[in-house]
Amino acid sequence: MTNFKLIDKKWQESWEKKKIFQVNELKKKKFYSLEMFAYPSGSGLHMGHAFNYTVGDIFARFKIMNGFNVLHPVGYDSFGLPAENAAIKANIHPKKYTESAIENFVKQQKRLGLSYDWSRLFKTSSSEYYKWNQYLFLKLYEAGLVYRKKSCVNWCPKCETVLANEQVHDGKCWRHSDCDVVEKELEQWFIKTSKYSQELLDYLPKLQWPERIKFMQENWIGKSKGAKVKFKLKDSNEEIEVFTTRPDTLYGVTFLVYSIQHPKVRWLTKDTMQSDEVEYFLRNLPKQSPEDRDKEGIFIGRYAINPLTNEEVPIYASNFVVPDYATGVVMAVPAHDQRDFEFAKKYGIPIKLVIQPKKGLLNVKEMESAYTGPGILVNSGKFSSLDNETAKEEIIKFLKSNKLGKEELQYRLRDWLVSRQRYWGTPIPMIYCEKCGIVPVPEKDLPIKLPEKIIFGKGNPLETSNEFIQVRCPKCKSLAKRETDTMDTFFDSSWYFLRFTDSHNKLKPFETKKVDFWLPVDMYIGGSEHACMHLIYARFFTKALRDLGMLELDEPFKVLYNQGMIHGEDGFVMSKSRGNVVDPIKTLDKYGADALRIFLVSNASPDKDSSWSATGIESSYKLVSKIYNYVKKAKVGITSARVENKLNKTIKEVTEDLENLRYNLALIKIRELVDSFEKQISKKDLESFVKLICPFAPHIAEELWNLIGNKKFVSLETWPKFDSKKINPELDAIDELIQNTIKDVYNIQKLVSIKPTKIVISVAEHWKYNLINDIKKEMKHTYDISEIIKAVIDKEHAQDIAKLVPSFVKNPTKLPKLVLSQEKEFNSLKENKKRFEKEFNLAIEITKNNIKAMPGKPAILFE
């Protein structure tokens, strides 16, 4: 086994020492290639990381070799709960824990041979970075995009902190699929992502992202078109605004429903006979996650007036109404909305039919579910007999002109809750003063550093750190309290790609000019799990910072590529409990980086899931060895036309495949090329080949490049160009002819079941290509090549044979047939001549010493 480990090390050190991947803004043709921000977990690099970085690195290297000024940076998203928890568990300070984790991570990443500009490295847990988190937080605050609000928020008991909407999946915490999120009423910091709902939606079609991700974001932002309608509260001047997408059903409203979390519920009910009952209801309603909770509600003792009919409708409070969507109150039309229908049935509320389908008549008494389809309005005053779509418009028009409502758009996207009740994150730069209220920390006082001497126990250790909490109010200088919450780590990753353009700027988060030069990210590679988290926040940030005048950019990521997952050999997700985890480092030790890189991308298209395979990595290792040994032993000379054809064709196809991240297909073509190589090859072609494999296997590429007499780095060489003149389909045809001839030789041999001592192959005298040589070469494994001799067939036949190749190219299915015989079997063959001719459509003439090929048929003779 060649020790590729040493070769890996040699070149990794050399690249780093010569800083060959460091870039600046001098060269114009830029390309920003980025893999999603790494969270440096204490357990080090796993196969998924290795895959992600390999996919990105191959692309970055390809772009470098194509003359681009490639920014390919790396950094660490080092704040966060897992580090904090792991540190507590190991009884180490999170800072120490994280630092050693990063150190380890860097070491492991380097072993993959990644083309990073290491000089730009930063970590978010360093105050040099999070200072700018705080700075940007304050800028957003000044711009009115950060606010504090008391509301019902999601709390994960395992994380012991609140979560953003995006971090709750199916009622569970995104980190703990076994942990139900609890709703808590708390005052928290929010970022107004909702301000950009429409723009986030509008730009989606322009992005070169997987359709799936765009679709997920579209759903997440969730735009609905409808109307805002004002209901008067009975015995009051108050108005209740509701949002509906079905203004056409307004005549069918039989009740209104407040969300139980709506702050107005208690207030509305306080002077009614129901107040105790409602209070009891609100207090005792079991907390259940939304999907499995039953609709529970209660009449709150008040009535509202339908603006169109002036009818009184009762008001309820229920758990099925989402508190922070639209106004948190809905108008209920049980006849035409399934949820309202179920609720009305349960509480015996009247159901009023206002839309009849165009076919068939509905009857309220017989209805078993709401009718939500289209139809004609009935029982709807002057709007009756209108088509319901028309009625939507007409009713909105009417509401508008009578100031009872208006057309309205609603989005599902909520504002981003960024407070976290944890230690290992960026302190929120706010101060609470009894006199002045909320006071932002002045810019000059940044960064607010995380205190290192703290006591971990239950809850947020910052709350017990007096050193941290106690502060003078920046305004009135009296004693005040610091905010002890830290920022969601998604805040850190929302702008890190901007910082990479100017990683070590001490005066600003980044230089606008640099961002304008490098951004947008031209290729962003990572998993799809961030579709509705990081990828939404980062888009929001970009737009917000643009509006703050900090950059000129609408969208941060031009192209997004989702790589798949590497599963264990058993096809399941790699996990410790399953015991199917494969350690990339151990693999690197055994096979070297190039083999691992090649394995990871040769299984399947990189956007698909694939499984680890012990034989697969072996096979990649074999390919690497084969390439290495071939180039090492290749005789520099003239490349045969056959290999030239293959090489140029491969360059052409591999280039296209790389451009489209079809690494698996590119590697197949490279494999075929390697198999077609001959001992002799020109230096130039050898060099082209080494360049061709460089993005995949940069270490052996450098080693071989050096070996064939080059001093510079192949990683920085220009990508090979193919010569279309060298690509000749005729040669492929010849190749096929040879393969078929050999096949025939084997078949005849099988037939006569005797090992031949000598093979005579008759071919045309003036055959353009040296068929015999090629056949000899190919058959050297089976026979002593000296035993294959060329027999010349007469001119008349030869001319016909010469026609074969062009006609074959035109119609590859009509392959010329080669005829074989063997001395011992000669007689039987002779006897069967007629049959052969008939069955196999062969024109053969058998004589004692030779088999004469008839037009179009070369012949082979065993002696």
Partner RNA sequence: GCAGAGGUGCCGGAGCGGUCAAACGGGUUAGGCUUAGGACCUAAUGGCUUAGUGCCUUCGCAGGUUCGAAUCCUGUCCUCUGCACCA
Q: Shortest gap between Cβ of 445 and RNA (angstroms)?
A: 39
Q: Shortest gap between Cβ of 849 and RNA (angstroms)?
A: 17
Closest to RNA by CB, 297 or 425: 297
In the region spanning residues 411 to 440, those forming contacts with RNA, defined by CB under 7 A, are 412
| 326 binds RNA, rule: CB under 7 A | yes
Closest to RNA by CB, 495 or 599: 599
Q: Which of 198, 272, 611, 770 binds RNA (CB under 7 A)?
A: 611
Size of the site for RNA (CB under 7 A): 86
Query: Which stretch in 270-278, 286-294, 491-499, 576-584 sits in contact with RNA by CB under 7 A?
Result: 286-294
Q: What is the 3-state secondary structure (H, E, C) of 728-793?
A: CHHHHHHHHHHHHHHHHHHHHHHHHCCCCCCEEEEEECCCCCCHHHHHHHHHCCCCCHHHEEEEEE
Residues near 448 by beta carbon (within 8 Å), at least 6 away in sequence: 134, 427, 429, 441, 482
Q: Shortest gap between Cβ of 532 and RNA (angstroms)?
A: 6
In the region spanning residues 769 to 798, those forming contacts with RNA, defined by CB under 7 A, are 778, 781-782
CA gyration radius, the chain:
37
Closest to RNA by CB, 236 or 782: 782
| 839 binds RNA, rule: CB under 7 A | yes
Q: Which of 143, 322, 581, 585 binds RNA (CB under 7 A)?
A: 322
| 814 binds RNA, rule: CB under 7 A | yes
Q: Shortest gap between Cβ of 603 and RNA (angstroms)?
A: 5
Q: Which of 535, 820, 853, 861 binds RNA (CB under 7 A)?
A: 820
| 675 binds RNA, rule: CB under 7 A | yes
Closest to RNA by CB, 136 or 595: 595
Q: Which of 92, 158, 836, 850 binds RNA (CB under 7 A)?
A: 836
In the region spanning residues 345 to 384, those forming contacts with RNA, defined by CB under 7 A, are none
Cα angle value 840/844/850 (rounded, 5°): 135
| 280 binds RNA, rule: CB under 7 A | no
Q: Which of 88, 581, 815, 854 binds RNA (CB under 7 A)?
A: 815
- For residue 858, is it left (φ>0), alpha (ψ between -120 and 50) or beta? beta
Q: Which of 61, 246, 392, 534 binds RNA (CB under 7 A)?
A: 246
Closest to RNA by CB, 95 or 169: 169
Query: Which stretch in 9-17, 233-241, 553-561, 815-823 sits in contact with RNA by CB under 7 A?
Result: 815-823
8 A C-beta contact, residue 664 and residue 702: no
Show the site string, 169-208: x = touches RNA by CB under 7 A, - = not.
Answer: xx--------------------------------------
Q: Shortest gap between Cβ of 696 and RNA (angstroms)?
A: 13
In the region spanning residues 614 to 673, those forming contacts with RNA, defined by CB under 7 A, are 615-616, 618-619, 622, 625-626, 662, 664-665, 668, 671-672
Q: Shortest gap between Cβ of 451 and RNA (angstroms)?
A: 37
| 243 binds RNA, rule: CB under 7 A | yes
In the region spanning residues 504 to 563, those forming contacts with RNA, defined by CB under 7 A, are 532
Q: Shortest gap between Cβ of 691 and RNA (angstroms)?
A: 21
- Tell me the β-bridge partners of 559: 208
Cα-based distances in Å from 243 to 49, 225, 240, 406, 440 = 45, 10, 10, 10, 35
Q: Which of 524, 389, 416 is nearest to 146 (CA)?
A: 416
The DSSP element (H or E) to which 861 belongs, if any, is: strand 859-862
Q: Shortest gap between Cβ of 837 and RNA (angstroms)?
A: 8
Query: Which stretch in 111-119, 125-133, 477-485, 613-621 sits in contact with RNA by CB under 7 A?
Result: 613-621
Residues near 520 by beta carbon (within 8 Å), at least 6 away in sequence: 32, 553, 555, 556, 557, 558
| Whether the bond into 40 is cis, omega within 30 of 0 | no
Q: Shortest gap between Cβ of 194 and RNA (angstroms)?
A: 11
8 A C-beta contact, residue 664 and residue 55: no
Closest to RNA by CB, 275 or 611: 611
| 683 binds RNA, rule: CB under 7 A | no
Tell me the C-alpha distance between 338 and 320, whole Å. Answer: 12
In the region spanning residues 749 to 768, those forming contacts with RNA, defined by CB under 7 A, are 750-751
Closest to RNA by CB, 135 or 325: 325
Rounded to 10°, the helix 698-707/4-18 angle is 90
DSSP 587-608: HHHHH-HHHHHHHHHHSS-TTS
In the region spanning residues 693 to 752, those forming contacts with RNA, defined by CB under 7 A, are 739-740, 742-744, 746-748, 750-751
Q: Which of 655, 832, 854, 863 binds RNA (CB under 7 A)?
A: 832
Q: Which of 263, 170, 224, 188 is nearest to 416 (CA)?
A: 188
Going by their DSSP bridges, the two strands 182-191 and 146-156 should be labelled as antiparallel
| 151 binds RNA, rule: CB under 7 A | no
Tell me the C-alpha distance between 596 and 602, whole Å. Answer: 10
Q: What is the 3-state secondary structure (H, E, C) of 276-292?
A: HHHHHHHHHCCCCCHHH
Query: Which stretch in 139-147, 196-204, 275-283, 289-297 sits in contact with RNA by CB under 7 A?
Result: 289-297
Which phi and psi (to 5°) does residue 612 adopt? -65, 150
Which sign does the torsion angle of CA 498, 504, 510, 512 carry? negative
Q: Shortest gap between Cβ of 14 and RNA (angstroms)?
A: 28
Tell me the C-alpha distance between 64 and 31, whole Å. Answer: 9
Tell me the C-alpha distance between 491 and 533, whole Å. Answer: 11
Closest to RNA by CB, 202 or 294: 294
Q: Shortest gap between Cβ of 123 and RNA (angstroms)?
A: 29
Q: Which of 194, 356, 379, 613 binds RNA (CB under 7 A)?
A: 613
Rounded to the nearest 10°, the torsion over CA 452, 455, 457, 462 is -60
E strand residue ranges, 61-220? 69-71, 146-156, 161-163, 168-169, 172-173, 182-191
Tell me the C-alpha distance between 337 and 334, whole Å. Answer: 5
Query: Which stretch in 2-10, 486-494, 538-546, 817-825 sits in contact with RNA by CB under 7 A?
Result: 817-825
Closest to RNA by CB, 75 or 592: 592
> Helix or strand or coil: residue 46?
coil
Which phi and psi (to 5°) does residue 57 adopt? -65, -40
Closest to RNA by CB, 407 or 463: 407
Tell me the C-alpha distance between 431 and 424, whole Å. Answer: 19
Q: Shortest gap between Cβ of 609 and RNA (angstroms)?
A: 7
Closest to RNA by CB, 122 or 416: 416
| 580 binds RNA, rule: CB under 7 A | no
Closest to RNA by CB, 553 or 809: 809
Owner of token pair 């088999």: 851
